[in-house]
Every structure is written in C-alpha cells, then in structure tokens.
Amino acid sequence: MAKISFGTDGWRGVIARDFTFANVERVAAAIAAYMNEAGLAARGAVVAYDNRFLADQFAAAAAGVLQSWGIPVFFSESALPTPVAAFAIKRYNAGGAVMLTASHNPPEYCGIKFIPEYAGPALPDVTRRIEELLAAPPAPPVVSSAPRRSLAPREDYFHHLLRLVDGEAIRRAGLKVVVDPMHGAGIGYLETLLKRLGAKVTVLHDRRDPLFGGGLPDPVPARLGPLKEQVRVEDAHLGLALDGDADRLGVIDADGTFVSPNQILALTYHYLREKRGWRGPVVRTVATTHLVDRIAAAYGETAYETPVGFKYIGAYLRERGCVCGGEESGGLSIRGHVPEKDGILAGLLAAEMVAVHGRSLCAQLAELAERFGRVVSARVDYRTTPEEKERILRHLREFNPSEFAGVAVLRRNTTDGVKIELVDGSWFLVRASGTEPVFRVYAEAATPEAVSHLQEAVRRELGLFAG
C-alpha cells in the first residue's frame, strides 16, 4: 500500500499513478476519522475542487466517504478557489473543508488537503494525526449516510471582500486592469469584482483547461509573457494573475515590470499602516524579505518570522493580531480575512494601492526604498544527486561561519534550513527539498550584484554543482 504524506500544503500526486480514487478515499476516511475524534463531524465538511482533470469526480468520491462516516457535506457544484473554500467553512460553520487541488503544479498532478475549522491551512499536529489514521484506519461508525447540500458561497465571499477593500477608491480611479486566471478555479472572481467596482477589465485564459494551455498555472515571471504583453497593448495600470486554485497572485505593473510577492507584502503592510492606520505586527516566513521588518521597526511594531508554509502565517494571523502576513512564494492575507492565502484579495489590494496613491506600484516601491533602504531578493534552485544531498546536509549542520563573503555574520538562524544573517542587513538561506535532491538558496541584499555575489559564494561553499 502506497505511503501518503502531507507536505507543506496537503498531499499531491500524479493522477492515475499515485493519485487514484482508492487513495483519495483512504485520505478522506482518515480526515473523517480525525474530524470524528476532534468533535467536528457534526458540523459537516465543505468539499470543493479546482479545474484539474477529474478533480470534481475525486471530490465526489471524497464526499461519499465523509457521508458514510455520518459527516454532512456541503458540496460545491462548480470549481472553487481554495480561499473561497476556506471562507465557506466560516460561512456555513462547518468543521473543516476537503479541497481537491494541486495548486500551481503541472497538469498531471492533483492533490487533496484538509482545512480545519479555523479556515486556515492545517498545522503539523493535525496532518500528523491524519497520517497516523491513514496508517491504521479505524472502522467508520455504524450510521446512516449523512446528507449532502449544495454549496454556493461566491456572492457571500464577494460581500466579505468588499468590506476589506476600499471599493470606492477603486471606482473613482477608473483603473484599467488585465486579469489572467490561468485557466484555473479563479475564473469569474477577480475580474467580476473589479468590473463591479468600475474598472475596465480585459481577461485572458478564462476558460477551464485541465492542461492549462500546455504550461503550469503558476504566476511567475517566466509564465506571464501574455499578461505583460496585454498590459502594454491596453496601456493598463495593472496585470493580475492567479495560480490554479487562486491562492497566489502574480503582478505586472503598468510598465511591464513584475512586482514580486516580497514587494507586494511590503507594499501592503506599509499601505495598511500608513493609509488605513492599522496598528499591529506583521508576519513572514524565514525565506521572505526583511523589508517588512524595517517597516515594522519604523512604526515600533514586531515582525514575526515562521518556518516556510502559510500554515504558520495563518496561525500568527489568528493568534497574534497581525496586520498582514505573507511568503515569498506568493501567499498573502490580512487581518479580518480567513487565515488562508488569497490571491483574489491580494489582487484587489494591489488595485486599491494604485487607486489611492495615484501612482504605479514601482513608484511606490521607489518611495519605500528611499525611506527604508533598497533591498533585492532572489532565489536559485540547485539540483544534486541523493548522495550529494546527504553530503551537503552534513556540511550545513556544521556550517557556522563568523564571516561570509567578506562580511561579518550577525546570527545563524535554523528556524527552517540554515539562514545566515550578515551585519550589513543582507542574508541568505539554504533549504533542502523534502522530496527531491534539490537545494533552494534564497538571498537578499542592497543590490542585484550583491545578491549574485552571495549566491555564488554559497554555491562554492557547498559545492552545489559537484558531481
């Protein structure tokens, strides 16, 4: 029997090889057993899915298992973004949600994740227990099959978002926006809201395609060429792209510049503090820009750091009163929203910032750099062999330099991977993939040249191309 493990955000596998109906039903049974143990079963479960091949049928199979355990099901009759499924937990007072999605992974993948009753990603104690129940599944209680109700949370979700953004500012600005849902579950969300707020909207890739146009539904610069070109053609203020389940955002500014998730997080925190007067800390992952730390310090606030994974960000949003939180891979949420990353909300906030400031995002970033100092962030992935991976991991365990690349070390941070922070404010982080012989090297410094210098020094130190 195949071993199923929950990664950073659920279990994913290749359809028909690993991700089969039998395995989906196994996972659904373990989730049902967990909900039963945790006293959540009577509240029911939201079951939703994205636009991937067979995702709706996998969802129906999972729903049937939950019902056989006596858990009422709120079933989505059409594809839902992950943040909307999380919102539906609160809307219907459910005990959790089962979401069938592989997010931004290639088309041959599907995935399943459990979102607990607090409407954010499951924390490790929850997923560990689900994995334990997978290994030794208990028999379902002897009950009659629970009912299934249709789920239609879109308009309630829209109403909720419009309480979190300044719609009138967007309306007054007369924005032109290009939206690219990348054939994913976000079709009909961001563009609809922007149109209701008076923006002139052009939409790309707004039909379901389980092959995602032959690429990945991942809003990174290499995949946003069509969006960039359409922003130029339309002379638009913004281009906004969503990933496959609409929990991540990619942004193209008016001049065609890609505005990174690191930059969007810093802009959002500064905007909420400066323009809305929101007080409170910010939270970021260990791999995310320290520019938010500088902004927080200027206002006498705290910047919290977590391991990689939005589940940790979500916990801080719930428990520490953070104004907002985010990660370098594109996830962001704010106070008052569900503690789940939401590309739709992030897109509306980007539009609001342009509308209120009356300036492009790049112009706003230049103002942040003038006030808080310039930072440049980058990530490089290095593939090794399994043997080399073990050698490098041993080296990292001993790696504790007093200086690096000619700069004194401020601290060694092992929150997640090995992070070396230097006295000049620059830093780098080395994280190993949990599933592949791959190392991810993140770096941040004042200039692109300094970032490249740091990354090259790390490559040489660890021998990342050896073998």
The full 3-state SS of the chain, as one line of letters, equals: CCCCCCECCEEEEEECCCECHHHHHHHHHHHHHHHHHCCCHHHCEEEEECCCCCHHHHHHHHHHHHHHCCCCEEEECCCCCHHHHHHHHHHCCCCEEEEECCCCCCCCEEEEEEEECCCCCCCHHHHHHHHHHHHCCCCCCCCCCCCEEEECCHHHHHHHHHHHCCHHHHHHHCCEEEEECCCCCCCCCHHHHHHHCCCEEEECCCCCCCCHHHCCCCCCHHHCHHHHHHHHHHCCCEEEEECCCCCCEEEEECCCCEECHHHHHHHHHHHHHHCCCCCCCEEEECCCCCHHHHHHHHCCCCEEEECCCHHHHHHHHHHCCCCEEECCCCCEEECCCCCCCCHHHHHHHHHHHHHHHCCCHHHHHHHHHHHHCCCEEEEEEEECCHHHHHHHHHHHHHCCCCEECCEEEEEEECCCCEEEEECCCCEEEEEECCCCCEEEEEEEECCHHHHHHHHHHHHHHHCCCCC
Among the three residues 120, 152, 184, which one is the final residue of a domain in this structure?
A: 152
Backbone torsion region of residue 404, taken as left when φ is above 0, otherwise alpha when ψ lies between -120 and 50, otherwise beta: beta
Q: Is residue 5 domain-resident?
A: no
| Token couple for 142 | 């002897």
The β-bridge relationship of strands 238-242 and 200-203 is unpaired
Question: In this structure, are 322 and 393 located in the same domain?
Answer: no
Question: In this structure, are 72 and 60 located in the same domain?
Answer: yes
CATH number at residue 48: 3.40.120.10
CATH number at residue 398: 3.30.310.50
Residue 9: the pLDDT is 75
Q: Sheet containing 148-151: give its strands across.
A: 11-14, 109-116, 96-100, 45-49, 73-76, 148-151
Q: Is residue 467 domain-resident?
A: no
Question: In this structure, are 197 and 326 located in the same domain?
Answer: yes
Amino acid at 188: G
Query: For residue 304, what are the β-bridge partners?
Result: 283
Q: Is residue 6 domain-resident?
A: no
Q: Is residue 246 domain-resident?
A: yes
End-to-end, the C-alpha distance of the chain in Å comes to 34
Question: In this structure, are 202 and 220 located in the same domain?
Answer: yes
Q: Is residue 1 domain-resident?
A: no
Question: In this structure, are 357 and 210 located in the same domain?
Answer: yes
Residue 2: the pLDDT is 65
Q: Is residue 263 domain-resident?
A: yes
**Could you tell me if 13 and 22 are in contact, meaning their C-beta atoms sit under 8 angstroms apart?**
no
Over its length of 467 residues, how does the chain's per-residue pLDDT go in tens digits?
Answer: 567 888 767 899 999 999 999 999 999 999 999 999 999 999 999 999 999 999 999 999 999 999 999 999 999 989 999 999 999 999 999 999 999 999 999 999 999 999 999 999 999 999 999 999 998 877 887 677 899 999 999 999 999 999 999 999 999 999 999 999 999 999 999 999 999 999 999 999 999 999 999 999 999 999 999 999 999 999 999 999 999 999 999 999 999 999 999 999 999 999 999 999 999 999 999 999 999 999 999 999 999 999 999 999 999 999 999 999 999 999 999 999 999 999 999 999 999 999 999 999 999 999 999 999 999 999 999 999 989 999 999 999 999 999 999 999 999 999 999 999 999 999 999 999 877 789 999 999 999 999 999 999 999 999 886 43
Spatial CA neighbour of 423 closest among 442, 439, 446, 441: 446
Question: In this structure, are 269 and 218 located in the same domain?
Answer: yes
Question: In this structure, are 182 and 305 located in the same domain?
Answer: yes
* CA gap 2, 257 in Å, rounded: 44
Question: In this structure, are 73 and 206 located in the same domain?
Answer: no
Specify the number of domains making up the chain. Answer: 3
* CA gap 88, 157 in Å, rounded: 8
* CA gap 29, 335 in Å, rounded: 33
Question: In this structure, are 19 and 122 located in the same domain?
Answer: yes
* CA gap 7, 240 in Å, rounded: 28
Residue 1: the pLDDT is 58
Residue 139: the pLDDT is 80
- pLDDT, one tens digit per residue, over 165-205 is 999 999 999 999 999 999 999 999 999 999 999 999 999 99
Q: Which residue has the tokens 């090259």?
A: 456
The pTM assigned to this predicted structure is 0.95
Residue 141: the pLDDT is 77
- pLDDT, one tens digit per residue, over 371-430 is 999 999 999 999 999 899 999 999 999 999 999 999 999 999 999 999 999 999 999 999
Q: Is residue 4 domain-resident?
A: no
Among the three residues 121, 152, 183, which one is the final residue of a domain in this structure?
A: 152
Among the three residues 372, 400, 416, which one is the final residue of a domain in this structure?
A: 372
* CA gap 133, 142 in Å, rounded: 18
Longest dimension (CA), the chain: 69
Structural domain including 109 reads 11-152
* CA gap 170, 352 in Å, rounded: 6
Question: In this structure, are 392 and 407 located in the same domain?
Answer: yes
Question: In this structure, are 173 and 139 located in the same domain?
Answer: no
**Could you tell me if 246 and 181 are in contact, meaning their C-beta atoms sit under 8 angstroms apart?**
yes
